[in-house]
DNA sequence: GCCGTTTTCGGCCCGACTGTTTTCAGTCG
């Protein structure tokens, strides 16, 4: 059973226990378990009991429940809880301003268990009789239901970055020197964000006014002395927090999170006789403030080096920092080439020369041109004859152009049975072959896994492109045992791609980290279809950083000569 | 439910804002 499925079950149990009014720490234990399972690269269902128990946060009970889910496909405990509350009630918990206490009361006292029922009851004014609920709250709930229906959940991180940039620019309209820093999941580089948080140093309340007056604001959710929350017309919630400059570092640390990282950090503070909150680090005995103005200062007060935001998930980064063994994360400047790009020869929008020049201007030393292959007729894919002719053109262009090396490649389709779309002797004449799945997405897991394994085993395949095929918010990953694919990639020296397209980010951070652990090289590719697409590489770099990747783990940080030597076709 | 170099019981992070309950509970991050 898939990790995400198991994570979803634990998360739902957390919600149901909360409705029951269970011990909050028990609820937290299930939510933590959901996070851990969701962020684990290898399948927890395949782990032995001892291995499961070795994961911090997974104890005897949760391990047994994972086993039960893996063996039977369901969980009796979850079924029992669902007999107390209908599953439709869980939608109500997702409403803005509505929490478990309210939902439980709505259900017990009015029998409301669905969005529809809540909407009807609120419209009829039947809620205001309940303790703690007035006419105003009733209206808020009606609006929350409408908003829930309109929005599609979380937003891809690259989109949220654009939104945050625009908001920051608006805020700086009053003061060009104003420091506006995005925090929260965006700063950590999470692949999707449920909202955007911005931090500003100072005490000038006018900035909160300016924030609330941003043209993209649909309505103001709340505004106080230190914080304002708004809902943007695109459905994203944005929060602005105003913090005194002497507390800026502590606030940056606090609001960047993650929650799990902060809890672990506070625990470390307490062990050292200190207290950490969003205003600073304080001695527990005297209350004296010992740090808070800058983030490095906050970490230093806890005897830690600065921890890059992308690592702050409580996945071992605090221990690594404590022993000074944090990874030296790859950055955009380390990338010397791009190994996945299209031109007008298949479905790109710019010709070969234009793409080459744009890559050079993006600071790249080499670019692999990898058109689609013939089975992708919709994208004007190339057959063997065109592939070899195009390779000649690429090599001619390479000889003609200065300061950029062009590699003749192909993005070859992996056919439903795992065979490659082009003949092996053709593929062998190229500099690099990226193999990808673009069809028959609905295959069963075994069939899809075997399909990818067959491609990995082919001697002419160097890289597997967007290995899980997901499209954020639009298409789930195809059913594949990615751990098996990673194992095979390790055995055959095949690299796996982190595709930087904003709606792909595929491999995910968890899978990329697993690839690192299994000794598989990664490439960070733009999958560019236009001259402005090399900028997308920044998103792939964010994923790689969240996966703890260092330059040495990423093939396209190498010189073109070293890259060629490292490709599977040139090994052995 | 998890955890343990003060440990197998008794803890588990902390503060702001809102609406309504005039002193606070619920929600959120």
Whole-number distance in Å between A499 CA and B2 C1': 37
Which nucleotide does the CA of A29 lie closest to, via C1'? B1
- Residue A3 has a pLDDT of 86
User: Residue at minimal CA–C1' distance from B20?
Assistant: A132
Whole-number distance in Å between A147 CA and B18 C1': 19
Whole-number distance in Å between A137 CA and B18 C1': 10
Residue A159 vs residues A190, A251, A503, A545: alpha-carbon distances, Å: 12, 24, 9, 19
Could you tell me which residues come within 8 angstroms of residue A522 by beta carbon, excluding any fewer than 6 positions away? Answer: A495, A496, A497, A498, A507, A512, A515, A516, A544, A547, A549, A553, A554, A555
State both tokens at A533. 């697409």
Residue A485 vs residues A45, A308, A315, A416, A464: alpha-carbon distances, Å: 17, 30, 23, 16, 10
What is the Cα–Cα distance from A308 to A98, expressed in whole angstroms?
A: 34
Whole-number distance in Å between A271 CA and B10 C1': 17
Please check whether residue A468 is in contact with residue A508, taking contact to mean a CB–CB distance below 8 angstroms: yes
Instruction: Name the average pLDDT for chain A.
Output: 92
User: Residue at minimal CA–C1' distance from B29?
Assistant: A255
Residue A127 DSSP code: S
Structural domains of chain A ordered from first start: 3-150 (1.10.150.110), 155-243 (3.30.460.10), 251-322 (3.30.210.10), 332-570 (3.20.20.140)
Question: What is the mean predicted confidence (pLDDT) over A165-175?
Answer: 90
pLDDT tens for each residue of A50-61: 888 888 889 999
Which nucleotide does the CA of A255 lie closest to, via C1'? B29
Whole-number distance in Å between A295 CA and B24 C1': 35
Strand B positions within 7 A of protein Cβ atoms: 1-4, 11-21, 25-29
- In degrees and rounded to multiples of 5, residue A199 shows phi and psi of -120, 135
Find how far residue A452's CA is from the centre of its chain.
23
Question: What is the mean predicted confidence (pLDDT) over A1-23?
Answer: 89
Which nucleotide does the CA of A97 lie closest to, via C1'? B27
Which nucleotide does the CA of A63 lie closest to, via C1'? B1
User: Can the peptide bond before residue A507 be classed as cis, meaning omega within 30 degrees of 0?
Assistant: yes
Angle between helices A135-150 and A115-123 (to 10 degrees): 140
Whole-number distance in Å between A489 CA and B11 C1': 46
Residue A449, SS3 per DSSP: helix
Whole-number distance in Å between A253 CA and B26 C1': 26
Whole-number distance in Å between A475 CA and B18 C1': 38
Which nucleotide does the CA of A228 lie closest to, via C1'? B17
The strand ranges marked E within A259-384 are 274-277, 280-283, 289-291, 337-338, 366-372
Q: Which residues is A408 bridged to in the sheet? A: A369
Which nucleotide does the CA of A61 lie closest to, via C1'? B1
Whole-number distance in Å between A46 CA and B20 C1': 51
Find how far residue A427's CA is from the centre of its chain.
33
Whole-number distance in Å between A328 CA and B8 C1': 40
pLDDT tens for each residue of A235-281: 888 999 999 889 999 999 999 999 889 989 998 998 888 989 889 99
pLDDT tens for each residue of A306-353: 999 999 998 889 999 999 999 999 999 999 999 999 999 999 989 999
Q: Which residues is A554 bridged to in the sheet? A: A522
Q: Which stretch of DSSP H or E encloses residue A200?
A: strand A195-201
Find how far residue A200's CA is from the centre of its chain.
25
User: Residue at minimal CA–C1' distance from B1?
Assistant: A26
Which nucleotide does the CA of A222 lie closest to, via C1'? B17
The angle subtended at Cα A541 by Cα A361 and Cα A455, nearest 5°, is: 100
- Residue A128 has a pLDDT of 85
What is the Cα–Cα distance from A53 to A58, expressed in whole angstroms?
A: 6
User: Residue at minimal CA–C1' distance from B18?
Assistant: A222
User: Residue at minimal CA–C1' distance from B12?
Assistant: A25
pLDDT tens for each residue of A450-470: 999 999 999 999 999 999 998
Percent of chain A with pLDDT over 70: 99
Which nucleotide does the CA of A144 lie closest to, via C1'? B27
Whole-number distance in Å between A344 CA and B12 C1': 59
The angle subtended at Cα A242 by Cα A241 and Cα A246, nearest 5°, is: 125
At residue A488, does pLDDT exceed 90? yes
């Amino acid at each position: 059973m898939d990790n995400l499925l198991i994570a979803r079950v634990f998360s739902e149990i957390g919600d149901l226990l909360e409705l029951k009014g269970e011990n909050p720490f028990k609820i937290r234990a299930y939510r933590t378990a959901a996070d851990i399972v969701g962020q684990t690269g290898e399948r927890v269902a395949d782990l032995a009991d001892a291995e499961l128990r070795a994961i911090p946060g997974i104890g005897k009970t949760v391990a047994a429940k994972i086993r039960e889910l893996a063996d039977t496909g369901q969980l009796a405990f979850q079924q029992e809880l669902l007999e107390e509350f209908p599953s439709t009630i869980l939608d109500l918990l997702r409403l803005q301003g509505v929490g478990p206490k309210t939902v439980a009361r709505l259900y017990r006292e009015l029998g409301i268990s669905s969005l529809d029922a809540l909407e009807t009851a609120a419209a009829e004014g039947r809620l205001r009789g309940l303790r703690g609920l007035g006419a105003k709250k009733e209206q808020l709930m009606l609006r929350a239901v409408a908003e829930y229906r309109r929005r599609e959940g979380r937003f891809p991180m690259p989109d949220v970055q654009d939104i945050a940039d625009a908001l920051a620019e608006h805020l700086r309209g009053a003061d060009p020197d104003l420091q506006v820093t995005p925090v929260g999941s965006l700063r950590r580089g999470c692949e999707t964000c449920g909202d955007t948080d911005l931090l500003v140093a100072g005490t000038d309340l006018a900035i909160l006014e300016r924030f609330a007056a941003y043209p993209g604001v649909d309505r103001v959710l709340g505004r106080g002395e230190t914080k304002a929350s708004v809902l943007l017309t695109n459905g994203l919630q944005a929060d602005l927090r105003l913090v005194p400059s002497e507390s800026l570092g502590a606030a940056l640390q606090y609001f960047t999170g993650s929650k799990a990282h902060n809890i672990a950090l506070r625990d470390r503070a307490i062990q050292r006789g200190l207290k950490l909150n969003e205003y600073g680090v304080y001695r527990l005995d005297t209350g004296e403030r010992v740090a808070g103005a800058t983030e490095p200062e906050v970490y230093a007060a806890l005897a830690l080096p600065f921890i890059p935001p992308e690592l702050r998930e409580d996945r071992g980064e605090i221990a690594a920092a404590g022993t000074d063994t944090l990874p030296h994360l790859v950055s955009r400047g380390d990338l010397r080439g791009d190994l996945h790009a299209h031109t007008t020869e298949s479905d790109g929008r710019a010709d070969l020369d234009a793409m080459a020049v744009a890559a050079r201007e993006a600071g790249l030393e080499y670019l692999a041109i990898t058109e689609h292959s013939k089975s992708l007729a919709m994208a004007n894919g190339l057959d063997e004859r065109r592939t070899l002719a195009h390779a000649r053109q690429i090599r001619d262009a390479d000889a003609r152009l200065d300061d950029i090396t062009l590699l003749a490649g192909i993005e070859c389709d992996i056919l439903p049975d795992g065979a490659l779309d082009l003949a092996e002797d053709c593929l062998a004449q190229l500099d690099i072959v990226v193999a990808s799945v673009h069809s028959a997405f609905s295959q069963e897991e075994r069939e899809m896994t075997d399909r990818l394994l067959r491609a990995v085993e082919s001697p002419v395949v160097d890289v597997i492109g967007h290995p899980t095929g997901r499209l954020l918010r639009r298409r789930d990953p195809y059913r594949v045992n990615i751990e098996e694919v990673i194992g095979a990639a390790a055995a055959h020296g095949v690299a796996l791609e982190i595709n930087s397209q904003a709606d792909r980010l595929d491999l995910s951070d968890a899978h990329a980290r697993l690839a690192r652990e299994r000794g598989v090289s990664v490439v960070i590719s733009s999958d560019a279809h236009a001259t402005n697409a090399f900028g997308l590489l920044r998103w792939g770099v964010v994923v790689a950083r969240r996966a703890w990747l260092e330059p040495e783990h990423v093939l396209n940080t190498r010189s073109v000569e070293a890259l060629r030597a490292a490709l599977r076709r040139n090994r052995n």
